Amino acid sequence: MFFVHPQIKLNKFKKVNLAQKLESYFPGKQLIFTDMGRSAFKIIIEKLNLQNSEILMPAYLCDIFKPILERYNIKPIFLDIDLTTFHIKIDEMERKITPNTKAVLVCHTYGLLFDIDKLQKWGLPVIEDCAHAFGIKLKSDIAFFSLYKQLPVLRGGLLVCPKDWQIGELPKTSFSFRDFLSLLNCFSLFAFFFKKFGGEIAPKIVRKEKLSSPAGLNNVSLALFSRSLENFEKTLENRKKMALLLQEELRKLGFEAQKSDNSVFCYLSALVPKSLVGKRDEIVQKLSKNGIFCTRIWHTPIILNKEVQEEYKINLADFPNTVEAAQRIINFPLQNHYKEKDIPKIINSIRKVINQL
Ligand SMILES: Cc1ncc(COP(=O)(O)O)c(C=O)c1O
């Protein structure tokens, strides 16, 4: 069975010096573990005083941002994306920026690295949404990660910010029953049962922040994160290698896989061939019957949320690529521990499913 979400591989584990390791990834930065990635984003908003302002952000993004925008009375200025990279179209910035635009949120969607140097000429503070991108080299000072997307750590965010930001101690959180279910979900047998029988229940137990204001990370997730960093570089190299192989094979089947310089491939993305657009969901469903559990992140990006459309007067015709991506996206399974022999197993199932359509 093949899953998108991180799986735990049981192996002998050597203790990692977490502080030392993180200092090598983020030299000279202040690092704060938070309950979730969104909690870290809230701290950034507060520290940059972005309340009651406008920020530029990708239209192709998850709608967890909606309540945060509302809470801080921030007006989003959405930018369409490029379908070959999933990065924002920066040529739209010039005409969308206003005197009240106080920052730009960029997202390294699926781990596809966006070069923030391209934004220099506007001189706006850049917030890097690295929810999908643990392992990239940061160029800016302000970023946040969502640890559980890429590593089997159940939940957790990481705020990266300048050392002189004064951030008091965050309230502690503890390991919950929801976290226990997430832990089980990191093992393929349980993951299979959750996928097979969890259809109705799953949406009710979506991950939420434990507190409404930013809180800290529980000790179990912190320990799992530390464990995941042993051999991280080596396993990431393997992940990249497997991703490139998978992309190559997907392209042969007519999928459009995204460009990948320095990507960390948190989610292996591809657009279904144009001839199969209306069959995307059927493909995903049929693949799951073959033990290939794909996802569709994001089949409903933030601008497809009806309330967002009404509140911010969104005209979908202004975002043709975001709308198309939402209709064609599939994220294929990829784990750090995959071997070359796993790729043909995935590809053969995809070929079989496509031939049945
Ligand atoms: C691009 C992106 N940014 C931020 C978040 C928020 O991360 P978290 O779920 O850890 O709060 C998510 C996930 O929901 C995401 O996909």
Q: Which residues have any ligand 1 atom within 6 Å of their CB? A: 36-38, 61-62, 64, 107, 129, 131-132, 146, 157, 207
Sequence-distant (≥ 6) Cβ neighbours of residue 194 within 8 angstroms:
181, 184, 185, 202
Q: What is the mean pLDDT of residues 187-213?
A: 81
Q: What is the atom index within ligand 1 of the atom nearest the CA of 209?
A: 11
The pLDDT value recorded for residue 202 is 63
Q: What is the mean pLDDT of residues 319-340?
A: 97
The pLDDT value recorded for residue 196 is 83
Give the residue, out of 108, 146, 173, with the most ligand 1 atoms within 8 A of its beta carbon, to mutate for a pocket test.
Answer: 146
The full set of domain ranges for the chain reads: 18-228, 232-356
On the question of pLDDT at 186 being above 70, the answer is yes
On the question of pLDDT at 204 being above 70, the answer is no
Protein residue closest via CA to atom 2 of ligand 1: 131
| Tokens linked to 344 | 């043909």
Compute, in angstroms, the gap from residue 38 CA to the centroid of ligand 1: 6
Compute, in angstroms, the gap from residue 53 CA to the centroid of ligand 1: 21
The pLDDT value recorded for residue 255 is 98
Q: What is the mean pLDDT of residues 36-41?
A: 98
Compute, in angstroms, the gap from residue 64 CA to the centroid of ligand 1: 7
Compute, in angstroms, the gap from residue 36 CA to the centroid of ligand 1: 8
Q: What is the atom index within ligand 1 of the atom nearest the CA of 39?
A: 11
CA 79 – CA 88 distance, rounded (Å): 6
Protein residue closest via CA to atom 7 of ligand 1: 37
pTM score over 0.85: yes
Compute, in angstroms, the gap from residue 337 CA to the centroid of ligand 1: 24
CA 88 – CA 112 distance, rounded (Å): 12
Verify whether residue 149 is a known catalytic residue: yes
Q: What is the atom index within ligand 1 of the atom nearest the CA of 38?
A: 11
Q: Given pLDDT bands bounded at 50, 70 and 90, which one contains residue 55?
A: very high
- 3-class secondary structure per residue, the chain: CECCCCCCCCCCCCCCCHHHHHHHHCCCCEEEEECCHHHHHHHHHHHCCCCCCEEEEECCCCCCHHHHHHHCCCEEEEECECCCCCCECHHHHHHHCCCCEEEEEEECHHHCCCCHHHHHHHCCCEEEEECCCCCCCCCCCCEEEEHHHCCCCCCCEEEEECCCCCCCCCCCCCCCHHHHHHHHCCCHHHHHHHHHHCCCCHHHHCCCCCCCCCCCCCHHHHHHHHHHCCCHHHHHHHHHHHHHHHHHHHHHCCCEECCCCCCCCCCEEEECCHHHHHHHHHHHHHHHHCCECCECCCCCCHHHCHHHHHHCCCCHHHCHHHHHHHHHEEEECCCCCCCCCHHHHHHHHHHHHHHHC
70 contacts 26 by C-beta, under 8 angstroms: no
Q: What is the atom index within ligand 1 of the atom nearest the CA of 146?
A: 10
Structural domain 232-356, CATH architecture: Alpha-Beta Complex (3.90)
Give the dihedral of Cα atoms 68, 265, 82, 147; nearest 10 deg. Answer: 10
In the set 42, 102, 149, 240, the catalytic residue is: 149
Give the residue, out of 55, 149, 159, with the most ligand 1 atoms within 8 A of its beta carbon, to mutate for a pocket test.
Answer: 149
Give the residue, out of 38, 108, 225, with the most ligand 1 atoms within 8 A of its beta carbon, to mutate for a pocket test.
Answer: 38
- Supply the CATH classification number for the domain 18-228: 3.40.640.10
Q: What is the atom index within ligand 1 of the atom nearest the CA of 129?
A: 3
The pLDDT value recorded for residue 200 is 63
Q: What is the mean pLDDT of residues 69-90?
A: 97
Compute, in angstroms, the gap from residue 310 CA to the centroid of ligand 1: 23
Q: Are strands 126-130 and 101-107 parallel, antiparallel or unpaired?
A: parallel
Q: What is the mean pLDDT of residues 308-319?
A: 98
Percent of the chain at pLDDT above 90?
91
Sequence-distant (≥ 6) Cβ neighbours of residue 197 within 8 angstroms:
none
The pLDDT value recorded for residue 16 is 86
CA 218 – CA 314 distance, rounded (Å): 38
CA 251 – CA 351 distance, rounded (Å): 12
Compute, in angstroms, the gap from residue 245 CA to the centroid of ligand 1: 27
Backbone angles phi, psi at 321, to 5 degrees: -75, -35
Give the residue, out of 62, 65, 69, 296, with the most ligand 1 atoms within 8 A of its beta carbon, to mutate for a pocket test.
Answer: 62
